[in-house]
Chain A
Amino acid sequence: AQRVTQPEKLLSVFKGAPVELKCNYSYSGSPELFWYVQYSRQRLQLLLRHISRESIKGFTADLNKGETSFHLKKPFAQEEDSAMYYCALIATNAGKSTFGDGTTLTVKP
């Protein structure tokens, strides 16, 4: 069975501080991992995926297969980063998707 765990429901940081949103997964195969974001009154949308290895809006995420983690990081948080963040996995053997419960990030001025 595949599973995604986001241990923090709520995360609050001050503007300019580093932020890390944790994501751990369990899956026996080689997963496709994603971070999605939902800003207030907007649709859920892709933030980044592990295979592209790019930085979006200053966020990066590294897949650590040894620790089965895919934590999302940003060195200097901005107020506009306040949103709900979901980590998601797609099983490459069946196409089934699994989302974590989400982390609400609040960046205080």
Chain B
Amino acid sequence: DGGITQSPKYLFRKEGQNVTLSCEQNLNHDAMYWYRQDPGQGLRLIYYSQIVNDFQKGDIAEGYSVSREKKESFPLTVTSAQKNPTAFYLCASSGQGYQPQHFGDGTRLSIL
């Protein structure tokens, strides 16, 4: 179903390379989030944004960067500074007033 679209589904990165994960939503939500999920672990917050042109670091922001130039888009860049980028990445969005989050299907990033 629609709502939140993450692309690509699978992504491969070479050592020393930056890669960008896409997240688009058509729910008119103000807030957007990026999470990292490792095997056997829960979701850990990387970055979140409550409004356009503003974002805050989550618990594991080092080695990642984001932008929020448009309400519907919240791309995540995994930089070469992230030493262990292999993981499953989930994007989410929510409406105002701490509404429940809607999630995408995720992007699985692997290192070549």
A and B part of one assembly: yes
Taking CB atoms, residues of chain B closer than 8 Å to A44 are: 90, 103
Question: Which residue, A9, A98, A100, has most C-beta atoms of chain B within 10 A?
Answer: A98
Which partner residue on chain A sits nearest B35 by CB separation? A99
Per a CB cutoff under 8 Å, which of A34, A49, A94, A101 touches B42?
A: A101
Q: Could you give, for residues 53-94 of chain B, a 1 whenever the CB lies within 8 Å of some chain A CB and a 0 otherwise?
A: 000101100000000000000000000000000000010000
What's the interface size class on B, roughly? Answer: 20 to 34
Is the Cβ of A96 less than 8 Å from the Cβ of B98?
Answer: no
A interface, size bucket: 20 to 34
Contacts of B104 in A (CB 8 A): 43
Interface flags for A23-64 (1: CB within 8 Å of B; 0: not) read: 000000000101010000001111001000000000000000
Check if A86 sits within 8 Å of B42, measured CB to CB. Answer: yes
Contact A96 B43 (CB under 8 A): no
By the criterion CB–CB under 8 Å, are A97 and B45 in contact? yes
Residue pair B100, A49 in contact (C-beta under 8 Å) = yes
Cβ B50 vs Cβ A9 within 8 A: no
How far apart are A41's CB and chain B's nearest CB, in angstroms? Answer: 10
Closest chain-A Cβ to B92's Cβ sits at a distance in Å of: 8
What CA separation (Å) do A52 and B58 show in the bound complex?
Answer: 27
* Chain A to chain B contacts (Cβ below 8 Å), 11 pairs: A46-B102, A86-B42, A95-B31, A95-B50, A95-B56, A95-B98, A97-B33, A99-B35, A99-B42, A100-B42, A101-B42
Q: A44-B90, A46-B100 are in contact. List 11 more A-B contacts (CB 8 A).
A: A43-B103, A45-B103, A86-B43, A90-B98, A94-B56, A95-B31, A96-B45, A96-B48, A96-B56, A99-B42, A100-B42
